[in-house]
A and B are shown apart, each in its own frame.
Chain A
Amino acid sequence: MKTAASSPRPMSPSLMTRIGAPISVMIAGALALLIVGCALMASWIAPYDPTDLASFELINAELPPAFTAEGDSHFLLGTDNQGRDLLSAMLYGARVSIAIGGGAVLVAATLGVILGLLAGYFGGKVDAVIMRIADVILSFPTILLALLVSGIARALFPGAATAEWAPVILICAIAIHEWVQYARTVRAATMVETAKDYVRAAKVIGLPPSRIMLRHILPNVMSPVLVIATINLAAAVLTEATLSFLGVGMPPTYPSLGTLIRIGNEFVFSGIWWIALFPALTLVILVLAVNIVGDWLRDRFNPKLRVKR
């Protein structure tokens, strides 16, 4: 529901013709790369180190952006409530968001591909058990499962450990729902491949199932996985931001974009708009760009693919 993936059938005509020309896709791709690139190089290009608590000066707190009347030229996009340079915090925050989103996609894809291969190759009871679990998981929305997982994790690692383990908890919380998509797609593709002659031949010459699955079937079922992964990345970044916004994600000492928006939200009423607005804008542009590229990739490489939630 949050991504293009929720569309009940493949998008037709392709996004290229819907929005205009492939130029829009190229711009989106460039924007996505720019944000990801800046985020990855945060430690070099950020003017300040937002994780270094000693560098904040409370006297600099809540300074408006440099281009406004009361702005300070040292802080291009202003400062947050603790005197932290907002631009630096955003660069580091985007890095955290992308790392967690990417991590969640990686975990979900790995788990989903393995379970999908097993279900599709062995069929029978293995298939029934895996797909039943998938059905139960699918009947709950991502956000609810993710909140439950982080709630349980909070109880298991009380106090400071929660903050320390936050990225891992978030990755697990998001991946626990998202693997189902991969598993379903890979299962269907694997069932088709398993019936083909090359797999039957491999079985006849006595290769072990693990080798047949990984070396023979996997390369042939991977392409839809990559497309789902792109679209999923946008959704994962959004889920992470939502969890952090709700206060169960990244702690304020090591903020992601969602945490920054949460901090900013507390100051919106006092007319301090920049702390919430700039991170929100970055988040929306990043997700929009990834969604556009993902949509296009899906239409371009696999017109028949139906992404199921």
Chain B
Amino acid sequence: MLKVLLSRLGQAALVMLVVSAISFVMFRFVGDPVSSMSRENASVEEKAELRRSLGLDQPVVVQYGRFLARTLSGDLGISYRNQRPVTQLIAERLPATLELVLVATILSLALGIPLGVLCALKPNGVAARLVQAFSLIGISTPTFVTGIVLILVFAVSLGWLPSFGRGQVVDLGWWSTGFLTLSGLKALILPGITLALYQLTLIMRLVRAEMIDVLSSDYIRFARARGLPRRYIHFHLALRNALMPVITVTGLQIGSLIAFAIVTETVFQWPGMGLLFIQAVSFVDIPVMAAYLLFVGLLFVLINTVVDILYAVVDPRLRARSA
């Protein structure tokens, strides 16, 4: 068990090292930090002084070491554009993105599981076919188009819901939440739906496939033979087992959703991390880009590692195989 744990942690550390190296290379070699940080009419001496004070005259390995040390202590540099510490910027934007992702995940589960079950129970029914056809259209429609259409219908034409921003937010310590005010909740609806649709098809297809698989297994056949009520078989015996992989995938997808929220946040001008990142890309704000990469990388690695370790804890077969 300890061996598995160590090897997983080792792997995670390796990936993070690679990610941090990429982010360091971006920091150091893409664009010249000195010319982006100094005044436009700075003299050669001033630039050399800045170069020294930033430690850019040291060997690359030393610089990388310092970069790692600074990163571990939470100092990710200063945004070229906003002239503020990147860590602070990300911390400010984090709640907006996480709340959006939370709403999207709940929505996609609440819709995806029943629809998937429907498709699995009556695969040839009219409803199932309609759902399947819609899911095909769903995967072919880019998120930003869904967002624009929703804005056109519900914000511009009907005027029911706001089309941009978070509405009124309440500060709970450093966390600003939109859950506590009416305008905050209203503002969450359209972006939440948009982001959820991206996830919905995946969950629906997964539930459908798992349900079909479970329904054809022996224990369900025996349950049927025993004459247990259908509802009990479908929802108590089958669905519970079909949901295991769904929970895993939903967990693993949270990282993707955070990254994918970039698009949704752009459409709805949602003040989250994604909008911060896309603005950094357009303004070539390298520290913010590098920090976002590090942050999302860390999130992915954390989620993957936790899931892997949980698997090893839950399933002894995996333990034996990898040991």
Task: List residues of chain A with CB under 8 Å of any chain B CB.
Answer: 1-4, 6-9, 18-19, 136, 139-141, 143-144, 147-148, 150-152, 154-156, 158, 234, 238, 241-242, 245-248, 261, 264-265, 268-269, 271, 273, 276, 280, 283-284, 287-288, 291-292, 295
Contacts and interface: CB of A to CB of B under 8 A. Distances in A.
23 contacts: A2-B139, A2-B142, A4-B136, A6-B202, A8-B205, A19-B129, A141-B256, A141-B259, A143-B263, A144-B259, A144-B296, A152-B30, A154-B284, A155-B30, A234-B140, A238-B142, A246-B262, A248-B281, A248-B282, A261-B144, A283-B142, A283-B145, A291-B140
Q: Is the interface of B mostly helix, strand, loop or mixed?
A: helix
Nearest to A286: B140
Contacts of A4: 136, 139
Contact of A18 (B31, B132, B284): B132
Given A273-B152, A284-B140, A143 B260 contact: yes
B139 A268 contact: no
Given A155-B31, A242-B142, A150 B281 contact: yes
A125 B133 CA distance: 45
Contacts of A155: 26, 30-31, 284, 286
Interface in B196-213: 198-199, 201-202, 205-206, 209
A140 to B, nearest CB: 7
Given A143-B259, A292-B136, A136 B293 contact: no
A18 B209 contact: no
A155 B259 CA distance: 21
B151 interface: yes
Interface string B257-269: 0011011001100
Interface of B: 15, 18, 26, 30-31, 129, 132-133, 136-137, 139-145, 148-149, 151-152, 156, 163, 198-199, 201-202, 205-206, 209, 245, 253, 255-256, 259-260, 262-263, 266-267, 277-278, 280-282, 284, 286, 289, 293, 296-297, 300-301, 304
Which of A150, A151, A269 has the largest number of chain B CB atoms within 10 A?
A151
A242 B198 CA distance: 13
A147 B293 CA distance: 10
A6 B204 CA distance: 12
Contacts of A287: 140-142
